[in-house]
């Protein structure tokens, strides 16, 4: 797989771009590349790259995220260190961009550096199981909105059609035609198909990124049986 120095993942809310960004950064590090990942999603505080902080640190991936990540403080703050990812050309940088055009506005401040260097891949993450991107035409509209807001043209498509843990290989295979239609409409190639590891193993003959899904910071242990009553006071 060919890697660019800067790889950006953007898409509609719920497309799965954060999972892809984390797994791609882990892959780069696993190949012996000095890697850092930045969370530029200032819109959605609930699905954060910081959820994988321990796993990233264990793999030697530097994580750059807001100081308020995984807190109860919801402020649209960008880390100042993120500039180093576009300035230090000895580093492989992965950027997780916020959902839709509102989230992509944050990319604008880094766009001149990225475009000047020219060694980047801007991947549109498409999940055709999500509302508002169920068709190639809907996905194309979101793609164009993100491009206009972020100022960095897309170069590739990642097909990440999924239903979380209910995803099957058949679902992913059935979405391949939709990804190709989006490719024809946009003029962009389908770079990767992303899928959870056990699903990816059943997708032969494709450029596949096998993934381990993030453990969310706010996940709670599964409780069996009805919830126990809690006292109102004391």
pLDDT tens string for the chain (234 positions)?
Answer: 899 999 999 999 889 999 999 999 999 999 999 999 998 876 655 446 767 888 999 999 999 876 544 444 444 456 678 889 999 999 999 999 977 778 788 898 899 999 999 999 999 999 999 999 999 999 999 999 999 999 999 999 999 999 988 999 999 999 999 999 999 999 999 999 999 999 999 997 779 999 998 765 444 455 455 544 444 333
Q: What is the pTM of this model?
A: 0.85
Half-sphere exposure of 200 (CA within 13 A, CB side): 15
Other CB atoms within 10 Å distance of the CB of residue 39: 27
Q: Is residue 228 in some structural domain?
A: no
pLDDT given for residue 77 in this prediction: 54
Half-sphere exposure of 57 (CA within 13 A, CB side): 6
CA quadruple 194, 145, 3, 25: dihedral positive or negative?
negative
Residues 6+ apart with CB under 8 A from 156: 121, 122, 123, 124, 188, 189, 190, 191, 192
Domain count, the chain: 1
Q: What is the CATH number of the domain that holds 56?
A: 3.40.50.300
Please give the residue range of the domain that contains residue 170: 6-211
Q: Is residue 223 in some structural domain?
A: no
Run of H or E residues at 124: strand 120-126
Cα angle 203, 161, 178 (rounded to 5 degrees) comes to 90
Q: Is residue 218 in some structural domain?
A: no
Beta bridge partners of 37: 63, 94
Q: Is residue 232 in some structural domain?
A: no
pLDDT given for residue 42 in this prediction: 65
Q: Is residue 220 in some structural domain?
A: no
- On whether the CB atoms of residues 49 and 63 are closer than 8 A, the answer is yes
pLDDT given for residue 40 in this prediction: 84
pLDDT given for residue 59 in this prediction: 96
pLDDT given for residue 51 in this prediction: 77
Q: Is residue 46 in some structural domain?
A: yes
Q: Is residue 234 in some structural domain?
A: no
Q: Is residue 217 in some structural domain?
A: no
């Amino acid at each position: 797989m060919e890697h660019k120095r800067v790889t950006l993942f953007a898409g509609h809310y719920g497309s799965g771009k954060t999972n892809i960004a984390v797994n791609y950064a882990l892959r780069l590090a696993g190949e012996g590349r000095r890697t850092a990942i930045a969370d530029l999603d200032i819109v959605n505080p609930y699905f954060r790259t910081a959820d994988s902080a321990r796993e990233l640190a264990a793999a030697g991936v530097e994580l750059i995220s807001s100081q308020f990540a995984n807190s109860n403080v919801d402020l649209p703050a960008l880390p100042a260190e993120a500039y180093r990812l576009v300035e230090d050309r000895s580093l492989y940088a992965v950027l997780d961009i916020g959902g839709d055009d509102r989230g992509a506005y944050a990319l604008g401040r880094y766009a001149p550096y990225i475009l000047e260097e020219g060694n980047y891949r801007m991947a549109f993450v498409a999940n055709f199981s999500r509302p508002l991107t169920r068709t190639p035409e809907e996905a194309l509209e979101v793609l164009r909105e993100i491009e206009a807001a972020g100022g960095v043209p897309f170069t590739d498509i990642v097909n990440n059609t999924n239903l979380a843990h209910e995803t099957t290989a058949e679902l992913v295979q059935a979405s391949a035609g939709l990804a190709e239609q989006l490719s024809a409409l946009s003029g962009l190639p389908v770079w990767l198909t992303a899928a959870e590891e056990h699903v990816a193993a059943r997708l032969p003959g494709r450029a596949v990124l096998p993934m381990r899904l993030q453990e969310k910071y706010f996940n709670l242990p599964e409780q069996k049986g009805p919830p126990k009553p809690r006292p109102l006071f004391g």
